[in-house]
Chain A
Amino acid sequence: MKALATATTVLLAIGAVPASAAETKDMKIALSNNFAGNSWRQAMLKSWETVTKQAVADGVVAEAPAFTTSENQATEQAAQIQNMILQGYNAIVIDAASPTALNGAIRQACDAGIVVVTFDGIATEPCAYRIAVDFKKLGGMQVDYFKSRGIKGNLLEVRGLAGVFVDDEIHDGIEAGVKADPDLKIVGSVHGNWTQTVAQKEVAGILPTLPDVAAVATQGGDGFGTAQAFKDAGRKTPVIFLGNREDELSWWKQQKDATGYQTMSASIAPGSSTFAFWVAKKLLAGEKLPQDMVLPITVVTQDNLEDQLKHTEKGSVTNVEYKEADVSGLLAGLKK
């Protein structure tokens, strides 16, 4: 097995010697995805399909298929990555089920000379490239927004899936912001699992035990359910920070038209998969890129709500699909 891996490495190394720009047209990039059962992941896969189909038609790469594991399991994804190594992909783009559990498989891929780019769900293995989101900032900006609105009083926090890195990061950002502001106090926290129906259930449960709530900090995919729970309980709708889901933005638009309701919305665009695709392509073309990159957060405000809603597909998430030039521009900005 080891001999085989070494032989593959040598072969790939020979193949990789003349790598320079425009030499990627015979190369293959695979997407390894661990989960497809929500609107964000569906949009992510769709963006990948749209952008890579064009890239293949344009002769940028030979092929770029997407593979999703049937169960959301790190072990299954590790096996999937091992298959991709054997199938001879030049680069593997991964939305990882776990930050650490795939490290072994990723190491094997790197040893075989394969470029590994992780995004959204990133992996800690040093040889992999990471396109992360500053989730702490996503938490902090909510408190900043509440402050800018002059909101004082009680805050309800709707968190994501307990035990997941993203949930802890956003929570830390919110908590740090609230600590620095004596006017805001977190009076309750529930886990909405980024799912509208779960958020609705959890908020409905805790709401009777809470005093008046002035604002709700969320993590995306939970704002609409939270609003439903407040409505069903007959409570005044607080300022609910939203997460760019189409149902959330439609609801916001309705409230805005009816009562002049104001809020803000932010999340990462599912098109981050296309950002990762171009990063992988650039690496294959021999460009030097930093091991750690940060994705911009997509923000919807009171002023551009209508415009963003128009561009957000029904049932989906506000999206940005990246072109190669966009990625070059963003990466140039990062290096400064």
Chain B
Amino acid sequence: MLAALRGRIAAAPWIWSFLGTAATWLVTVSISGGRGGEEIISAALTFSAFTVLVSLGQMMVITTGPGNVDLSIPSVIALSSAVAMLVMDERAGMIVPGLAAAVAAGLAVGGANYGLIRLLRIPPIIATLSSSLVVMSVAIVLGRGLKIKPPQVFADAVTTKVAGVPLLAIVALAAAVAIAFVLERTLYGRTVSAIGQSRRIARLAGLDVERASLLTYMLSGGLAGLTGALIAGFSGGNSLDQGAEYLLLTIAVVVIGGTSVSGGRASVPGIWGAALFMFLIVTMLNASGVSPGLRMLITGLIIIGVIAVGGSERAPR
């Protein structure tokens, strides 16, 4: 019985992030004296939606094996938000082209990242880091000294709620379901997992390893591009610094969510669990009023704790 349960949990390492989320929420509500439990969940769903969208891309990249990581996400968000707002230019009719342009910018950066890795044989961590510098420079040139407002319709759409649930959260949930389907049921998805487990064997098995890698970096860039446009709509315009927090956050969310850092095994539900968890830790510590130094310390300890508990249940590879 117990062994069966343990087996279940080992197969679903993401469960810990949801347990952590629930515990954090309970503590927060008890600190606030029972006030605002529902509103906290609503805020958590909204802001986690952004985190989920970018982290899904990061998860796919990390799943393609050791050393693969996308450090260009913050720059892509800065660039795509500027592109989206420039194209929309406060006109409601240009919302779709604006979103398309933002995604296209992200896809292009993703493709370029892969090009650097493949053609110049630069390690992904260096390739995406250096491309992020170039992308940020482009974003500075494009967005310098101007914060363009989103069209009112777009701003209303991204802040709207459907039956009490933020529309953004529904979009992010749909994206998560789609990625889960792709991972489990498509040749591309299975190839990504296979590459992460062993690139050599995947190639010998006749899988198109290079195409899958290219698509993965493009997917990560495209999702970051979309997120950049959505953040600009949500926050009243584009700015250069709005992606900065997503560099370490996406990596933390992927790892806490139970995706294997060494690749080969993704965990889509864990992305949602960990994104909510990361938001609620901050809310909990803010509500508790402890000093900033202590907040960082506690955040670090909690993250280590969750990974240690989740990790110890995993079968050795």
In the complex, number of A-B residue pairs with CB atoms less than 8 Å apart: 122
- A206–B239 contact, CB under 8 A? no
- Chain B residue contacts of A209, Cβ below 8 A: 28-29, 31-32, 35-36, 40, 283, 287
State the main secondary structure of chain B at its contact with A. helix
- Which chain B residues (30-71) contact chain A, with CB distance < 8 Å? 31-32, 35-40, 43-44, 46-47
Taken together as a complex, chains A and B put the C-alpha atoms of A92 and B40 apart, in Å, by 49
Residue with the highest number of chain A CB atoms closer than 10 Å, among B47, B133, B145: B145
A228 at the interface (CB under 8 A from B): yes
Whether B147 lies near A39 (C-beta < 8 A) is yes
A88: B residues at CB distance < 8 A: none
Chain A residues lying within 8 Å of B159, measured Cβ to Cβ, are 232
CB-based nearest B residue for A206: B286
State in angstroms the CA–CA spacing of A200 and B47 once bound together: 10
Are the C-beta atoms of A233 and B39 separated by less than 8 Å? Answer: yes
Cross-chain contact A205 with B283 (CB below 8 angstroms) = yes
The residues of A that contact B304 with a CB separation of less than 8 Å are none
**B292 & A159 in contact (Cβ 8 Å cutoff):** yes
Q: Which of A14-22, A273-281, A308-316 contacts B (4 or more CB under 8 A)?
A: A308-316
> Is B244 a contact partner of A46 (Cβ separation < 8 A)?
no
Interface positions, chain A 81-129, Cβ under 8 Å from B, are none
Q: Which residue of B lies closest to A316 (CB)?
A: B145
State A274–B242 Cα separation when bound (angstroms): 27
Task: Please determine whether B140 and A38 come into contact, CB atoms closer than 8 angstroms.
Answer: no
Task: State whether A70 and B133 are in contact (beta carbons under 8 Å apart), knowing that A163-B293, A196-B235, A207-B43 are contacts in the complex.
Answer: yes
Q: How many residues of A contact B (CB 8 A)?
A: 42
Q: Which of A9-38 contact B (CB under 8 A)?
A: 36-38
Chain B residue nearest to A246 in the complex (CB): B147
Specify the chain A residue showing the minimal Cβ separation from B283: A205
- In the complex, the chain B residue whose C-beta lies closest to that of A171 is B292
User: Does A56 sit within 8 A of B, measured CB to CB?
Assistant: no
Complex contact A195–B145 (CB within 8 A): no
* Distance between Cα atoms of A46 and B145 in the complex (Å): 10
Q: Which residues of B contact A198 (CB under 8 A)?
A: 245
Are B235 and A225 neighbours in the complex by a CB distance under 8 Å?
Answer: yes
Which residues of the partner chain B approach A207 to less than 8 Å between Cβ atoms? 36, 39, 43
User: B316 at the A/B interface (Cβ < 8 Å)?
Assistant: no
Q: Which of A24-75 contact B (CB under 8 A)?
A: 36-39, 42-43, 46, 70
Within 8 A of A (CB), among B105-155: 133, 136, 140, 143-148
A40 CA / B242 CA spacing, docked (Å): 14
Instruction: Give Cα distance in the complex from A205 to B42, angstroms.
Output: 9
Known contacts A189-B289, A247-B147; A206 and B283 CB within 8 A of each other: yes
Q: List 6 A-B contacts (CB under 8 A).
A: A202-B286, A205-B44, A208-B37, A209-B28, A209-B40, A209-B283
Please give 17 more A-B residue pairs, beta carbons under 8 A apart, in addition to A38-B240, A204-B46. Answer: A36-B140, A37-B136, A38-B241, A162-B293, A162-B295, A163-B292, A195-B244, A196-B236, A201-B47, A202-B286, A205-B44, A205-B279, A205-B280, A208-B38, A209-B40, A210-B32, A246-B147
